[in-house]
A and B are shown apart, each in its own frame.
Chain A
Amino acid sequence: MSKETKLAVKQYRLAVAGVAATGVFALSACGAAPDEDDSDSDGGNNADASFLACMITDSGGVDDKSFNESSWQGMLDAAEENSDIEVEYKESSADTDYDPNLRSAVDDGCDFIVGVGGLMTENVNTVAGENPDIPFATVDGFSEVENVYSIQFDTAQSAFLAGYVAAAQTESGTVATWGGMKIPPVTIFMDGFAEGIAYHNEAKGTDVELLGWDEEAQDGTFLNDFEDTAGGKSTSETFISQGADIIFPVAGPAGIGALTAASEADGVNAIWVDTDGYESTEFGDVLITSAEKGLAAAVTDSVLAAYDGDVTGSYVGTLANDGVGIAPYHDFEDAVSDETKTEVEDLKQAIIDGEVTVESPASPAAE
């Protein structure tokens, strides 16, 4: 081929490609324009609002299918409820991001700042101390600073019920739990879970064994990470190989690894934490139930209260105030016996009435 023909072919190809690209663009760009005043595309976020509520996530991001996501849902719900509230979030990828994020929220002119995660409490205290006029909230942490509202949950209670269900449902007589990090908001679930199993063992004369957490020694299996789903999967597989047939991961998004492991193994199921995993994950078919923590509602309430200028003190979610709870059984509605269901309901009432106490060293101090 001579140089000229080569060049011509090259140009021809280029032209064809150009025409094709333009065609694709033209075809896809022929839609009708929406009305000029169509501004409602921000998903319940009110751009012209006078009150700006901001949330700082822990590592994991707002789509972690767990506590960050629930808290953000709570923020959005508040914006939905009151159109004068605008909400925004900032993600932290490590604890060194907490300070700059909190401060940049102050710079953004936020009127209420929610720090999600107990690890952030000290940072919230510092920044709140520097800005005494702005109300702050810390989720999963307790603060004594005046302008910081503490949102805590006695999730030992909901995990207790989940543990009882797990002990009733296990066929191998072995269940397992593991945590994301050894911090009170995580270990409290594990304590409650262990106590629920122990209660079942005592009441029913069973001998269900729990792997991954020793309540006495306050030590167990931790991933030291909330995002490492691969690590969560291999940890769960280890437990499955040791005979566990119900896994209770307390690790936010890393817990997805346990659900993957459960769905890949035969006859292994799981119990989710924080949210109703049947709704928030894609693994509803292996989830017996979830030990819920009413983050979203508590955050919504705090934002609405902050809007009214009335957010002080602290909040502890319990079974009594529906701040924590156990999720519906969904696909396991038939698998869980009516007897167990009634017993769980009775236990719940007994805990509310104080007849049965769930004690975890990590339980939030009563108000």
Chain B
Amino acid sequence: MTTENTTATAEQPESPEPPESKPSFARLFGRYLIEANSVMVTVYSLLLAFAIGAVLLIVSDEQVRSSYGYFFARPSDALGGSWNLIYSSYMDLFQGAILNFNTLERFQAGNADFGDLLRPLSETLTNATPLIFTGLAVGLAFRAGLFNIGAQGQMIFGMLGALVIGFSLNVPAIVHIPLAILAGAVAGGLFGAVPGVLKATTGAHEVISSIMLNNIAALFLVWALSTKFIHSETRSELVSKPVRDSAELPALLGWLNPSLRVNLAIVVGVAVAVGVWWLLTKSTFGYRIRAVGFNGPASATAGMSVGRTYATTMGAAGALAGLAGAALALGTGSGGVNTATVLEYGFDGITVALLGRANPAGIVVSALLFGALKAGALSAQPDVPVDISTLLQATIVLFIAAPALVKAILRLRTPRGGLVTLEAKGW
């Protein structure tokens, strides 16, 4: 070893590039690409997920699968068929989420208006809206070292709060909409604060209590819908009264085409994301959240009240999830809410927050991605199995959560600071 070292040192003056000189940008970039840093792990997670999705598409397609049965007799069938299947499936997803080429053709021929062209994008944004809120709800709690699994329940309470104000008040839209949205945030916030307060006062773990509170919220919703106050007056099934027109969030592009569902909530969502960013980086409260998340005991020593931070952070997170519920209750095109209205947006918020690495901008982007996947999968039926969007989401997050796996599969280098895993420190 020593000899080698000496030789290397001896040879150094002759080498064309002295090691002190800065490596070229291309080289740095190349090294960045093969390093398991957080950006590249995200990119590779997406690629790997789409690759696994492709394999499953092949396996689940009977015709292509059977063509592998005679692979050696005519490989072109299997390979060509697989390629066509993968290409057309992902193309279908794209067309359902971004731009439909059939509609484009009809538009160019004058058979469709501009609004028809925007419909896939409108669907993507519509699906992404609740995910932005629930993603922020989980992400904000992450920053304080809390794992908020209760976004689903907080969203349900937010939905009920906005709904009740939405149908019971009779005031002009300019007052009604903000009030209803506020009611959603307050209801979600109060419900969200419960696990935080429990943790601060009794030490009960927020994961356990927020999971359990989800069930309470779901069953409360069933009961609430059946009460005379909330139950629809015209329909017999379990559905609420519709909100008044004055509380309905206006469709942003309704003037272009009534089928464009995207509404004001997406604007609120982006604004709130900016607000959360400001809160986290510029405000005292945000500083406290991050300090407690980084090191609770140290923050306590520095004079911060860790317990109060837990309670207020969970309350704020609950308010964010409540906004998702408000967006659903006041969203256009529904004659009241039922138990299926909330879908799984609260749980999907966890995956959104993980993919966005608890960073408001990242959360908006990943909510848009998941919204696009949902819109694409819905419209690509029946050629593409509708479960593909859930599957891709799950696979992406699996890789994001396990950077070591991505590193091992692709033989990436360890970045200088070590692998970055996002984790709640409250365990």
Contact = CB atoms under 8 A, between A and B. Distances in A.
Interface of A: 25-26, 28-34, 41, 59, 88-91, 93-97, 99-101, 103-104, 107-109, 119, 122, 127, 130, 181-184, 187, 218, 222, 224-225
Contact of A89 (B73, B102, B378, B381): B381
Nearest to B75: A29
B27 to A, nearest CB: 30
Contact of A34 (B70, B235, B335, B381): B70
5 contacts: A33-B70, A41-B63, A59-B340, A107-B102, A108-B102
A181 B70 contact: no
Contacts of A182: 236-238
B125 to A, nearest CB: 12
Contacts of B68: 28-29
A183 B343 contact: no
B4 interface: no
Nearest to B331: A96
Interface in B294-342: 333-335, 338-341
B340 A183 contact: no
Contact of A100 (B70, B73, B123): B123
B379 interface: yes
B288 interface: no
Contacts of B69: 28-29, 31
Nearest to B116: A107
A122 B116 CA distance: 21
A94 B340 contact: yes
A107 B103 contact: yes
Interface of B: 62-63, 66, 68-74, 77, 96, 100, 102-103, 116, 119, 123, 222, 235-238, 258-259, 261, 333-335, 338-341, 343, 375, 378-379, 381-382, 386
Most chain B beta-carbon neighbours within 10 Å: one of A95, A107, A119, A183? A107
A34 B74 CA distance: 9
B378 A130 contact: no
B379 A94 contact: no
Nearest to B259: A103
Secondary structure of the B contact surface, majority rule = loop
B334 A96 contact: yes
B222 A224 contact: yes
Contact of A224 (B72, B74, B123, B238): B238
B381 to A, nearest CB: 4
Given A119-B237, A184-B236, A224-B238, 16 more contacts: A29-B69, A29-B71, A31-B70, A31-B73, A32-B73, A34-B70, A90-B381, A93-B386, A95-B334, A95-B340, A95-B341, A99-B261, A101-B378, A104-B379, A122-B335, A222-B238
Given A90-B381, A107-B379, A183 B236 contact: yes
A11 to B, nearest CB: 16
A29 B70 contact: yes
A222 B237 CA distance: 10
A318 to B, nearest CB: 23
Nearest to A186: B237
Nearest to A55: B382
Nearest to A41: B63
A28 B96 CA distance: 36
A74 B96 CA distance: 27
A96 B63 contact: no
A96 B341 CA distance: 7
Contact of B258 (A34, A130, A224): A130
A28 B237 CA distance: 52
A96 B334 CA distance: 8
A141 B73 CA distance: 53
Contacts of A119: 237
Contacts of B340: 59, 94-96
Contacts of B238: 181-182, 222, 224
Nearest to B236: A182
A253 B333 CA distance: 28
B101 to A, nearest CB: 11
Given A26-B72, A31-B69, A31-B70, A103 B236 contact: no
Contact of B333 (A30, A99, A187): A99
Contact of B379 (A25, A32, A100, A184): A100
- Closest 4 A-B residue pairs measured CB to CB? A29-B71, A33-B73, A104-B379, A33-B74
A119 B334 CA distance: 12
B343 A96 contact: yes
A360 to B, nearest CB: 12
B237 A30 contact: no
Given A29-B72, A96-B334, A88 B339 contact: no
B120 to A, nearest CB: 9
Contacts of A183: 235-237
A130 B259 contact: yes
Contacts of B381: 89-91, 101, 104
A103 B63 contact: no
B62 to A, nearest CB: 7
A255 to B, nearest CB: 17
A29 B340 CA distance: 45
A130 B258 CA distance: 9
B272 to A, nearest CB: 22
A95 B70 CA distance: 43
Most chain B beta-carbon neighbours within 10 Å: one of A29, A41, A100, A222? A100
Contacts of B259: 99, 103, 127, 130
A32 B71 CA distance: 9
A344 to B, nearest CB: 30
A95 B96 CA distance: 19
B261 A181 contact: no
A130 B257 CA distance: 10
Contacts of B73: 30-33
A89 to B, nearest CB: 6
Contacts of B339: 224-225
B333 A32 contact: no
A204 B70 CA distance: 66
Nearest to A183: B237
Nearest to A102: B259
Contacts of B100: 107
A88 B382 contact: yes
A25 B381 CA distance: 31
